[in-house]
Amino acid sequence: MSNNYSDNGVSTEGLTFLEDGEVLYNDLYLLSETDEKGIVKYASDSFLKIANMKAEEILGQPHNIVRHPDMPRAAFKSLWDDVQSKGFWTGYVKNARRGGGFYWVYATVLRSVDKAGNTKYVSIRVKPSREDIQKASDLYATLD
């Protein structure tokens, strides 16, 4: 494999690997869609790249497959409470990459219900600033 691909053949072009395991990305948006149970139905190429996964590895899987163990449960409780009551949530999330490493996102999660009553969730994620990552990391360290 050339240096532009991970061990499972996913392109690493546009990614920067830091010594602490964090991976920085240049893509503008990372997109995904899940059903009402959190099962991934769509993942953009940019999301697949940063997560170090192929589509067949994530489609049909729970979205929490990319959840990093450093993320406090309280953050996800806030996410689900807001999405259910307001229809959306925004916040910072530290995600795990397949094979090691992590990346931070500023996520907007939207709930959508079609005419038949089927619910889906769309997540639009962008790269946060270093300062915002530090603030989120400091806050999350105080939560359970």
> Does residue 142 register a pLDDT over 50?
yes
- Residues 124, 143: Cα–Cα separation, whole Å: 24
Residue ranges of alpha helices (H) inside the chain are 45-51, 55-58, 73-86, 130-140
- The CATH number of residue 90's host domain is 3.30.450.20
Which residue range forms the structural domain that includes residue 107? 15-140
- Predicted pLDDT of residue 96: 96
The percentage of residues in the chain with a pLDDT greater than 70, rounded to a whole number, is 89
- Residues 85, 66: Cα–Cα separation, whole Å: 24
**E strands within 66-144?**
88-96, 102-113, 119-126
Q: How many domains does the chain have?
A: 1
- Residue 93 in any domain: the answer is yes
Least confident of 7-21, 74-88, 115-129: 7-21
- Residue 8 in any domain: the answer is no
- Mean pLDDT estimate for the chain: 89
In sequence order, the β-bridge partners of residue 121 are: 34, 111
pTM of the shown model = 0.82
- Residue 78 in any domain: the answer is yes
- Residue 103 in any domain: the answer is yes
- Residue 1 in any domain: the answer is no
136: Cα separation from own chain's centroid: 15
Tokens of 28: 């503008």
Q: What is the mean pLDDT of residues 91-109?
A: 95
- Residue 80 in any domain: the answer is yes
- Residue 81 in any domain: the answer is yes
10-63 confidence digits (pLDDT tens): 666 776 777 776 776 776 789 999 999 999 999 999 899 989 999 999 999 999
- Residue 24 in any domain: the answer is yes
- Predicted pLDDT of residue 138: 95
The percentage of residues in the chain with a pLDDT greater than 90, rounded to a whole number, is 74
